[in-house]
Amino acid sequence: MPPPPLLLQIQFANAEDKQEFQKYPTKVGRRSLSRSISQSSTDSYSSAASYSDSSDDETSPRDKAQANSKGSSDFCVKNVKQAEFGRREIEIAEQDMSALISLRKRAQAEKPLAGAKIVGCTHITAQTAVLIETLVALGAQCRWTACNIYSTQNEVAAALAETGVPVFAWKGESEDDFWWCIDRCVNKEGWQANMILDDGGDLTHWVYKKYPSVFKKAQGIVEESVTGVHRLYQLSKAGKLCVPAMNVNDSVTKQKFDNLYCCRESILDGLKRTTDVMFGGKQVVVCGYGEVGKGCCSALKAMGAIVCITEIDPICALQGCMDGFRVVKLNEVIRQMDIVITCTGNKNVVTRDQLDRIKNGCIVCNMGHSNTEIDVASLRSPELTWERVRSQVDHVIWPDGKRVILLAEGRLLNLSCSTVPTFVLSITATTQALALIELFNAPEGRYKQDVYLLPKKMGKTWYSLIKYFEVIFPVATAMTLMRLSVFE
Amino acid sequence: MPPPPLLLQIQFANAEDKQEFQKYPTKVGRRSLSRSISQSSTDSYSSAASYSDSSDDETSPRDKAQANSKGSSDFCVKNVKQAEFGRREIEIAEQDMSALISLRKRAQAEKPLAGAKIVGCTHITAQTAVLIETLVALGAQCRWTACNIYSTQNEVAAALAETGVPVFAWKGESEDDFWWCIDRCVNKEGWQANMILDDGGDLTHWVYKKYPSVFKKAQGIVEESVTGVHRLYQLSKAGKLCVPAMNVNDSVTKQKFDNLYCCRESILDGLKRTTDVMFGGKQVVVCGYGEVGKGCCSALKAMGAIVCITEIDPICALQGCMDGFRVVKLNEVIRQMDIVITCTGNKNVVTRDQLDRIKNGCIVCNMGHSNTEIDVASLRSPELTWERVRSQVDHVIWPDGKRVILLAEGRLLNLSCSTVPTFVLSITATTQALALIELFNAPEGRYKQDVYLLPKKMGKTWYSLIKYFEVIFPVATAMTLMRLSVFE
Amino acid sequence: MPPPPLLLQIQFANAEDKQEFQKYPTKVGRRSLSRSISQSSTDSYSSAASYSDSSDDETSPRDKAQANSKGSSDFCVKNVKQAEFGRREIEIAEQDMSALISLRKRAQAEKPLAGAKIVGCTHITAQTAVLIETLVALGAQCRWTACNIYSTQNEVAAALAETGVPVFAWKGESEDDFWWCIDRCVNKEGWQANMILDDGGDLTHWVYKKYPSVFKKAQGIVEESVTGVHRLYQLSKAGKLCVPAMNVNDSVTKQKFDNLYCCRESILDGLKRTTDVMFGGKQVVVCGYGEVGKGCCSALKAMGAIVCITEIDPICALQGCMDGFRVVKLNEVIRQMDIVITCTGNKNVVTRDQLDRIKNGCIVCNMGHSNTEIDVASLRSPELTWERVRSQVDHVIWPDGKRVILLAEGRLLNLSCSTVPTFVLSITATTQALALIELFNAPEGRYKQDVYLLPKKMGKTWYSLIKYFEVIFPVATAMTLMRLSVFE
Amino acid sequence: MPPPPLLLQIQFANAEDKQEFQKYPTKVGRRSLSRSISQSSTDSYSSAASYSDSSDDETSPRDKAQANSKGSSDFCVKNVKQAEFGRREIEIAEQDMSALISLRKRAQAEKPLAGAKIVGCTHITAQTAVLIETLVALGAQCRWTACNIYSTQNEVAAALAETGVPVFAWKGESEDDFWWCIDRCVNKEGWQANMILDDGGDLTHWVYKKYPSVFKKAQGIVEESVTGVHRLYQLSKAGKLCVPAMNVNDSVTKQKFDNLYCCRESILDGLKRTTDVMFGGKQVVVCGYGEVGKGCCSALKAMGAIVCITEIDPICALQGCMDGFRVVKLNEVIRQMDIVITCTGNKNVVTRDQLDRIKNGCIVCNMGHSNTEIDVASLRSPELTWERVRSQVDHVIWPDGKRVILLAEGRLLNLSCSTVPTFVLSITATTQALALIELFNAPEGRYKQDVYLLPKKMGKTWYSLIKYFEVIFPVATAMTLMRLSVFE
């Protein structure tokens, strides 16, 4: 029998704690980024995943009695019988996650995580499953829950449950379900977590508030999200972080991959999937020449687009100029552009006034860090007609018949209309695994009660950053990095 | 009441004619290319188009009595009431077909096709509709049918019928329907076609065989497909082509766009949509360095892939070498590749033996002109397991667990898994329109009973090839070509 | 004792012949292109060559008695004692001419030119010497003279003379010397040429006019220049070409290398050597987007310049547009450009009016086929001051102080201010050698009295065009082409 | 009468000072980098500069009595009569230094350096002259000397002297001359410097040691060299830096330009000027993928070379991999390479053993930060023959005849065989000028006795870093940056 709903039972130690807990933004806002990521990463398997959506089973997983084939009931998923489908998804994901697979093979004899009891809270996808199963192969005991109420791939959760990982997650959880799952993950009689792997900080916060004794005895926290890292720094600043934490979000590889390398590909992918536009000969303006803008510009230029940029930071403008892009003012070129892309991180980069002057058929989209770069709100006015022409694509029609093609309603194109390659997720997952190994094996005193970046040299030489790249790159450079003399 | 089935009534003039008629390859084979094109071009609007598939109406259009809002019944489509949906599709297509729109605007006063009676046989898609409506705007009377039994967008056909174009086509015609539609298109009492616009040669063949008097009096034929052009050259060689014909297929723009510019984009698009693979750092071998290979290599290199090529033609190998690609033998590199792409036009470029040596997780696909470049047949053997992981994606699994990711079962990736941009279709359609104008307006004797390429200077100076490019490029170069002095 | 001056003795068979002879443009004009080529190719060794210019020896070589170390006097060069220096130059050239070296090694046992008696008339440079010595190694007897009165590298001529090749050439010949040398080359008692290798057509013309019996019995002519090929076609048209000729000038490789690949490099080289300009961020307009323009644009874009083009041919404009260059009118952009490059092949592409509007410090140069693309004549007017700031660089100064930096006085930048890489010369030389082999070994009747391009399959399979590329590319693709299965 | 030699008169305050003074590396070693820079920058004007070398005047400038046309003798140059030639060189340099010219125009009314008394010690070249004359235009009094005994352009020094700048420098100073000039620059009765602009730290050191009272009262030091900045940090660490100093060397622009943007162009230029090699199709290995390596790889790839890299830093290897370069071990590829380039900053990157295995005709050169990356010393052994084929180019010949083409004896190719574009020098010079303005105008207390980088926002808003880029980029982006809204 599933445990009773738990959220209502939460007893905050005092009013101050409760207030702090509640001052976080609402889940909807707070996790909008995370959600988009998982959304797109599941989309990429949408055709395969469709079988699971036909379920007419409306019963809440919390109300179901399920057991896996070994008889264990220590999990809560939509339907453990879907395990086989999930297993196939995991196998597909393994194809492009050879870094983790390689780590698994090399370290499973040594079992560097033997004794580690990890509670994890991440998107539950095929890629995460590869991470979890790697941690298990390295000796860890894991209990897992979802960091997002929409992003769980139910079949994958089933596959994990079937192999014996206690996982508590399903697609379409309520907020109450969300916290109930987290608690079930942590609150296991006779078992006490000593490591936390988090994405967004909810699990960390829950343990910190509800299970302070667990929190204090933990050997480390690994966090990958902007939000979660921000919370950790706040805790640290307030002197309340009594356990070393590893900031995976700001590792060089994650930043380079999430921005430059990923966007270089996803700008093309996102535009093609939504509009089938031909790039060659198109006039494009990219607003902002940071890492994301650099990626977009380089890709579009290579496809034969005629690209110019806007940029207010002089160093970035300099780079754009020396890379061969005209640096312009948006107002000067807006009338002639075929595609307008924002990636500045600022608000109202494209204003209603500019949208009024844009030409018929122009595509407008956003690759930046917020959905306010294009003043979409200003387009929701009575004189303009919106027409949804396909998923993520709206025609906004002016009274004179001019159509502007707005993608993803101004949200992040790369997350809404493209996918995050498994290879990129693999790199982050490998970094997470190495961070766990490092924190768990570090000699006492090496890491204080603070937030760290993954060091170049790790406690166990074997897992040094150099090795970590060797691990990451067997696919890409089978003939190369692995044989560099430094690795011999 | 719809007319009775017609195919059975066809009376060949003599046995020889019948034999010639029948020696053509079967439709399935003959039109496989055409079908793929239309398939993909409709796919690109698949989400929008889905409303029309829910039709539970099983009645054959031939058995339905329909009339458009003006009372005309001179058409046969699935459901004329879907006209409004089709109109929206046409309007979307117009966004990226400004060449045709521009031609329409500039020539509709002059009406260079006044008096032209055109029978057309092409895919019935939103893009074709823009062409047809342009021809009508220039003064032509048109009757239209589909060149493929699967590719018709029913809503678009409805929209055309609603505006008064006699169109005979629906998705899912039988072979009998196919010929019936063609005949209904030609065989209109009191109306005799004087121009033929064809894609594949079926309409031309039908007129030639069934209505020789119409054929002899026609002022011109415009043909865009490889197959159709081949037939015309055969007719010409046999001295049976009694009407001038324009070969649109081999026009420079069509060739450049269909191969170099299109493939440069569709190789990336096709790979992303099927596998979400990250290109950066991947080892890729492209077999064949013709126009298609050049497009593939240039795109993948720009995305950070490490690309090498195989090539047996010394001139192409030279170009590859001077463009900075390693020229290799496939056997030497096959083991290390992450992606293998064929575009040679030859058979068995990738053999079973090589597939046996390929590494786990390698993606194998074809961008060439046939589905036999990869020896897919050899993979259909008992010791290998095929697993369909999503549409167009199969994992072929070796006994040792190795998986090779085969796309589109070795058929053309760009047609099966990507889309043909509207802009490209627009260029071909504009060429077709200009070819019709040229043939219809040419002074007598200018064109003999032969097959021609569109001339640089056309009969009416206004429609010269230079103008035609001006017409084609307003979108891409609004500020540029239109103002070149040559156009002033 | 050297033979007496010969030019005055030429007796034309009749007045018509004389007229025809004389109707050719004057040497200065006719060979201006050839001269530039040789000029630059010797420039590239200018530092090394300087030792030979210090000669205070004013005696004409025709008046000197010289013998090589074997006692032969059958040559006429500046100073045979410089042979050692010339040998070094030849050895340096051999480094990047492995195609010829490879041909030499592979065919010297077979001696496919045994019996060939070749008279040659080309620039006498280290690169030509490698060709001549290859022909000798393949069995030919050679006698050689210079096609240009300025381009001979005296030391190289000496080195050839020293090894026994009868060579008649020196730097700074008079026109009389020029014809005298040609005649000495042909007119050798007891020896009659059966093959002609020519660059410019002067030798061919001389033999045709003066030694018609030799001309008629020749087995073939190989010609590499535009002018010479033009003459051959004229002869052929007039029915006077009684010997098969091979047009090397229009071979694919020569065209691609001379234009696209060579110019891609020499535009950068020429600009750097003359102005040291930084390319990154510079605004550049390239007039003309043919092969030369494509090479220039691609190189400058890659260096970070912001490049736009002008083009009146619609097909080329299309390509420029799809390659991502703005297509503009020169008048619209002339004020903002930092560098203006012409490569259209037309006259007055940059007019005085435009030069008046150009900005201070702008660099203006020509990569096209004539020195009239920039209206340099219009700059030679009293109100403008010319200042020679270094070799090939003039500042033209307007009354208001504006300076325009004019390179090579509007002549070809690539020939005047850059060098032709030995590798490119090697490709042409190898083609010449193969053409000689083909003509000399072809079965009777295979080649008529006409002008031919080098065939893909040659008479002796061994020397097929495919082999020929294998021979050309050992340097570039040591690991690749040589092992392509087609060569096995 | 010129003042007497001064060096011998230097009295160190105490033995410790003397020791510290002397512990610096000898001038030859210490200034080898500086020397190369100036060498190349003068080389670029070599043809123009040649007139000054013909001087047969052997008299030391110190022994000459000279006066400019205004009667002033407060300078010491080779020959003040060469002023006119020098003026032309300065005018040429101004063409590509519009940043300084723009600064001059905008600030000369305001005169932000009025009251500044600057002693400067830099290379005396046309480019520096533009800087000096800009400082004067902004209100400063300047006295100048050379930082290098070889690099002075005598005509430029003359031109400066003629306009009234007290300059003490000539080409070919002795070490004694060097210090004498510095002293004459500082030691002017009735005039006390309050600002120091230094390149290498010699002037700073001299003032610090010899004129401590001047040193203490100075308002700021601006230093651009690695060596000089290193000295300043040492002084600061030792608590002996009693004046704020500005580190120009590490400014973003200087670093980006000196490395990435400059090397991207100079690798091509250096190779072409020395070897005329064709890049297309060549196999190249670049050792090291830092900023310099990135520049080299990007340029060579764009020219059609087939480039692979070696790299031991995992982050850089990652970038190389994602940029599409094969990451290899040098030993694996050394036999096949046509060009080997080092830019790692390490020693013996290319060993004798590897040089033994390199193929005939391979070019070997260094773009890194020392002349020890290639083990050139190991090549100076009896069994190998060295042949100098032109300036900066040696053939090293193995006993079997194999030739390796070694450039600049392993020294920096970009400095030895290429030129530093005036535009790059202009950027550094503008930074120096702004640094002087900032330090001179900063409110008291803003800068402590420490070493600073140029701040983004400067004391006078007008001169903020953003403005500074506006000033730097008028040439490159006439239409762009200057009109960015941020500048309005």
C289-310 pLDDT, tens digit per residue, is: 988 999 999 999 999 999 999 9
User: Same structural domain for residues C294 and C231?
Assistant: no
The average pLDDT across D313-337 equals: 88
> What confidence tier does D457 reach under pLDDT thresholds 50, 70, 90?
low
Contact C473 B321 (CB under 8 A): yes
Q: Which residue of A has its CA nearest to B265?
A: A303
Contact A265 B283 (CB under 8 A): no
CATH number of the structural domain spanning residue C272? 3.40.50.720
Query: CA A352, CA A355: separation in Å to the nearest integer?
Result: 5
Residue A17 has pLDDT above 90, yes or no: no
Instruction: State whether residue D306 sits within 8 Å of chain B by CB.
Output: yes
Q: What is the pLDDT of residue A458?
A: 56
Q: What is the pLDDT of residue D463?
A: 52
User: Same structural domain for residues C242 and C286?
Assistant: no
User: Same structural domain for residues B434 and B371?
Assistant: no
Q: Which residue of D has its CA nearest to C279?
A: D265
Instruction: State whether residue C92 sits within 8 Å of chain D by CB.
Output: yes
- Give one DSSP letter per residue of D111-164, joined into a string: -TTTT-EEEEEE--SHHHHHHHHHHHHTT-EEEEEESSSS---HHHHHHHHHTT
How many interchain CB pairs under 8 A, B with C? 90
pLDDT in tens, B168-218: 999 999 999 999 999 999 999 999 999 999 999 999 999 999 999 999 999
Kindly report the pTM of this predicted structure. 0.81
- Tokens 């070249």 locate to D125
- Tokens 């805790």 locate to A235
Domain-embedded: residue C121: yes
The average pLDDT across A80-104 equals: 87
Local structure of residue C79 (DSSP, 8 states): -
Residue type, B453: L
Number of alpha carbons in the 13 Å side-chain half-sphere of residue C464: 10
**D368 marked among binding-site residues:** no
Domain-embedded: residue B37: yes
- Written as six digits, the tokens of C391 are 């070799």
The average pLDDT across A71-82 equals: 96
Spatial CA neighbour of D110 closest among D133, D143, D141, D137: D137
**D414 marked among binding-site residues:** yes
More confident residue, D87 or B95: D87
Chain D residues in contact with C303 by the CB 8 A cut-off are: 264-265, 299, 302
**A224 marked among binding-site residues:** yes
Q: Looking at A273-282, A353-362, B46-55, B126-135, which range is the least confident one?
A: B46-55
Q: What is the pLDDT of residue B41?
A: 31
Q: Which residue of A has its CA nearest to D311?
A: A484
**C202 marked among binding-site residues:** no
pLDDT in tens, C91-137: 888 887 877 887 888 778 889 999 999 999 999 999 999 999 999 99
User: Same structural domain for residues C246 and C272?
Assistant: no
Q: Are B417 and B407 in contact (CB under 8 A)?
A: yes
Spatial CA neighbour of C307 closest among C284, C341, C335: C284
CA distance C334 to chain D (A): 12
Select from A276, A281, A423 the Cβ nearest to the Cβ of B278.
A423
- Region label for B234, one of left (φ > 0), alpha (ψ between -120 and 50) or beta (otherwise): alpha
- Given C385, C416, C447, the domain boundary residue is C416
Instruction: State whether residue C115 sits within 8 Å of chain D by CB.
Output: no
> What confidence tier does C4 reach under pLDDT thresholds 50, 70, 90?
very low
Domain-embedded: residue B242: yes
Query: CA C446, CA B231: separation in Å to the nearest integer?
Result: 35
**A270 marked among binding-site residues:** no
Q: Are A140 and A116 in contact (CB under 8 A)?
A: yes
Contacts of C48 (CB under 8 A, 6+ apart): C88, C89, C92, D389, D390
Contact C466 B314 (CB under 8 A): yes
Select from B280, B306, B322 the Cβ nearest to the Cβ of D304.
B322
Contacts of A248 (CB under 8 A, 6+ apart): A222, A223, A224, A254, A428, A431, A432, A435, A454
Contact C303 D302 (CB under 8 A): yes
Contact D301 B321 (CB under 8 A): no
Q: What is the pLDDT of residue B121?
A: 97
List chains adjacent to chain B, taking adjacency as at least 3 C-beta pairs closer than 8 Å.
Answer: A, C, D
Query: CA B184, CA A381: separation in Å to the nearest integer?
Result: 49
User: Same structural domain for residues D370 and D425?
Assistant: no
Q: Are B417 and B393 in contact (CB under 8 A)?
A: no
CA distance D486 to chain A (A): 7
Instruction: State whether residue D401 sits within 8 Å of chain C by CB.
Output: no
User: Same structural domain for residues B429 and B377?
Assistant: no
CA distance B486 to chain A (A): 20
pLDDT in tens, C215-241: 999 999 999 988 899 999 999 999 999
End-to-end CA distance of chain A: 55
Contact C277 D95 (CB under 8 A): no
- Angle, CA C413 vertex, CA C411 and CA C417 arms, to 5°: 115
Q: What is the pLDDT of residue B329?
A: 87
Query: CA B138, CA B130: separation in Å to the nearest integer?
Result: 12
- Give one DSSP letter per residue of A412-437, joined into a string: BHHHHTS---HHHHHHHHHHHHHHHH
Residue C478 has pLDDT above 60, yes or no: no
Q: Which residue of C has its CA nearest to D262?
A: C278
Show contacts of D201-204: CB within 8 Å, 24+ apart: D201/D225, D201/D227, D201/D228, D201/D230, D201/D231, D201/D232, D202/D121, D202/D147, D202/D178, D203/D119, D203/D120, D203/D121, D203/D145, D203/D147, D204/D228, D204/D231, D204/D232
User: Same structural domain for residues D288 and D433?
Assistant: no
Domain-embedded: residue A189: yes
Which positions 12-31 of A are in contact with B (Cβ < 8 Å)? none
Query: CA A106, CA D451: separation in Å to the nearest integer?
Result: 49
**A16 marked among binding-site residues:** no
User: Same structural domain for residues D121 and D152?
Assistant: yes
Query: CA D150, CA A295: separation in Å to the nearest integer?
Result: 45
Give the β-pairing of C393-397 and C385-390: antiparallel
CA distance A259 to chain B (A): 13
The SS3 call for residue C78 is coil
Q: What is the pLDDT of residue D442?
A: 87
CA distance C422 to chain D (A): 7
CATH number of the structural domain spanning residue B12? 3.40.50.1480
CA distance B350 to chain D (A): 24
> What confidence tier does A11 reach under pLDDT thresholds 50, 70, 90?
very low
CA distance D132 to chain B (A): 44
User: Same structural domain for residues A207 and A88?
Assistant: yes
Domain-embedded: residue A167: yes
Chain A residues in contact with C306 by the CB 8 A cut-off are: 321, 324-326
Q: Are D414 and D264 in contact (CB under 8 A)?
A: no
Which positions 238-297 of D are in contact with A (Cβ < 8 Å)? 252-253, 256, 261
Instruction: State whether residue B302 sits within 8 Å of chain C by CB.
Output: no
Residue B473 has pLDDT above 50, yes or no: no
Spatial CA neighbour of D403 closest among D374, D357, D360: D360
Residue B9 has pLDDT above 50, yes or no: no
The average pLDDT across C424-430 equals: 85
Which positions 134-173 of A are in contact with B (Cβ < 8 Å)? none
User: Same structural domain for residues C425 and C291?
Assistant: no
**C199 marked among binding-site residues:** yes
Q: What is the pLDDT of residue D9?
A: 35
More confident residue, D445 or A81: A81
Domain-embedded: residue D40: yes
The most confident of the ranges A366-370, C181-185, C401-405 is: C181-185
- Given B391, B416, B441, the domain boundary residue is B416
Domain of residue B86 covers 7-254+421-487
Instruction: State whether residue C469 sits within 8 Å of chain B by CB.
Output: yes
Q: Which residue of D has its CA nearest to A464?
A: D314
Torsions phi, psi for C384 (to 5 deg):
-105, 140
> What confidence tier does D57 reach under pLDDT thresholds 50, 70, 90?
low
If one counts the domains in chain B, the total is 2
Chain C residues in contact with A324 by the CB 8 A cut-off are: 280-281, 301, 303-307
Select from A305, A321, A323 the Cβ nearest to the Cβ of C324.
A305
Domain-embedded: residue C264: yes
**Percent of chain A residues topping a pLDDT of 90:** 56
Select from A303, A307, A322 the Cβ nearest to the Cβ of C304.
A322
The most confident of the ranges B44-58, D87-101, D297-311 is: D297-311
End-to-end CA distance of chain B: 55
Query: CA D296, CA D314: separation in Å to the nearest integer?
Result: 19
pLDDT in tens, B205-260: 999 999 999 999 999 999 998 889 999 999 999 999 999 999 998 887 777 777 88
The most confident of the ranges B425-439, B446-460, D393-407 is: D393-407
Q: What is the pLDDT of residue D201?
A: 94
Select from C304, C322, C326 the Cβ nearest to the Cβ of A324.
C304
**C176 marked among binding-site residues:** no
Chain A residues in contact with D326 by the CB 8 A cut-off are: 477, 479-480
User: Same structural domain for residues B91 and B154?
Assistant: yes
- Give one DSSP letter per residue of C312-336, joined into a string: -SHHHHHHHHHTTPEE--HHHHGGG
Q: Looking at A225-239, C131-145, D305-319, which range is the least confident one?
A: D305-319
Residue C43 has pLDDT above 70, yes or no: no
Domain-embedded: residue C476: yes
Here the ipTM equals 0.77
- Given B386, B416, B446, the domain boundary residue is B416
Chain C residues in contact with A301 by the CB 8 A cut-off are: 324
User: Same structural domain for residues B407 and B426?
Assistant: no
**C294 marked among binding-site residues:** yes
Q: Which residue of B has its CA nearest to D319?
A: B281
- Written as six digits, the tokens of D299 are 């340029």
Select from D281, D304, D324 the Cβ nearest to the Cβ of B306.
D324
- Tokens 């008649």 locate to C168
Instruction: State whether residue B109 sits within 8 Å of chain A by CB.
Output: no
Q: Are B464 and B455 in contact (CB under 8 A)?
A: no
C314-322 helix and B465-472 helix, angle to the nearest 10 degrees: 20
Indicate which of B37, B130, B260, B276 best probes the interface with A, i.e. most A CBs within 10 Å of its own CB.
Answer: B276
